[in-house]
Amino acid sequence: MKKTKAFSTVTRSQSRRVAIFVDNDNLYLSLKQAGYPIVEYSYIQFFARVYGRVTLARVYLAQANPPIEIRMRRAGFEPRYVSTNGYKRSIVDTQMIVDMMRYDADVYIIVTGDSDFEPAVRQLRQEGKYMVVVHLVENTSELLRAAAHEFHDYRILQLSVQPFISPSSFPISQQLLGMCKRSLRVVKAHKSDHSPAVIVRAGEVVEVGREDSEIDGWFWCTTREGVSDWIPQPFFENHRGLGVLLVNYNSTELDVATGDRLFFVREVLGWIWCATIKGQFGWIPVEKVEDI
């Protein structure tokens, strides 16, 4: 992946502290109604890490659930049980809001669709915090969405995670692509400058080489198979020259022509991970596309 000097001014610095608060029952019930059997906590972690360094990741529940707790902890979340003692479940929401207001972070990822959170989100935004809400769009309060800087449909998070481990494509529906909040038009053709791509899973180790001399945050890394390419700093932890991947990563670039339409998924340090209308995924420089 060859990078150019121009890149978006909206970058995700690892100096930014990110806090994740998940209203578990609210999310689970909405997903169940939509036909999703489980909450993929790792999707939320991956999504949050590109905003900065996650300093708190907490899931709020009304009662203990050991099997789910195991999955939470594996994804880096701390379960927070709030006993309702027979009262309304709103006690759980109240505790989550209290913890949000007490915690000090730069970016808040709030996973809920409940309108009860709107005043807290608006207040934190007024205090200079960057507020991001994640939930299912049809089950999210319009007031809550309007109070945040960003809103993301939870179902789109899978486009940020699953395709990264596939060489070039991932079977998704046109309906899911349609949920992408941005459509892009290619203004300058792009062709990958080399192959094969680096494809690594979370937990794998790569050798970390030089940092790019023109753009901070991109490192030349080599896998155990001897394949080398650029990997952005938000995706790995550097331990004296050995990088441990925090998330799945795929350095595949898209071969596209001027005028092609793309669906925006993520932007990371001047490159956009996006999909074609045929469901092919890959990276493209931000300066080669424009919003439609």
**pLDDT tens per residue, range 216-261:** 788 999 999 999 999 988 788 888 899 988 777 889 899 999 999 9
Residue 173 has a pLDDT of: 57
pLDDT of 11 above 80:
no
Which domains, and CATH codes, for the chain? 17-158 (3.40.50.1010), 166-191+252-291 (2.30.30.40), 199-250 (2.30.30.40)
Mean pLDDT of the chain: 83
pLDDT of 153 above 90:
no
Residue 48 has a pLDDT of: 87
- Let me know how long the chain is: 292
- Listed residue (289, 243, 287) closest to 276, CA to CA: 289
pTM above 0.85, yes or no: no
For residue 197, give the 3-state DSSP assignment.
coil
pLDDT band at 115 (very low <50, low <70, confident <90, very high): very high
User: Which position has the higher pLDDT, 278 or 73?
Assistant: 73
Residue 105 has a pLDDT of: 95
User: Which position has the higher pLDDT, 291 or 98?
Assistant: 98
What is the H or E stretch that residue 121 is in? helix 118-126
Residue 14 has a pLDDT of: 54
Residue 156 has a pLDDT of: 75
Would you say 274 and 261 are in contact if contact means Cβ atoms under 8 Å apart? no
User: Which position has the higher pLDDT, 115 or 177?
Assistant: 115
> Taking the CB of residue 8, how many other CB atoms lie within 10 A of it?
14
Would you say 229 and 197 are in contact if contact means Cβ atoms under 8 Å apart? yes
Would you say 244 and 253 are in contact if contact means Cβ atoms under 8 Å apart? no
d(C-alpha 90, C-alpha 23), whole Å: 11
The order of strands in the sheet holding 17-23 is 78-81, 53-61, 17-23, 107-111, 130-135, 150-153
Residue 107 has a pLDDT of: 93
Q: Determine the average pLDDT of the residues in 146-156.
A: 85
Q: Determine the average pLDDT of the residues in 44-54.
A: 85
Q: Determine the average pLDDT of the residues in 99-115.
A: 96
pLDDT of 45 above 60:
yes
Residue 163 has a pLDDT of: 53
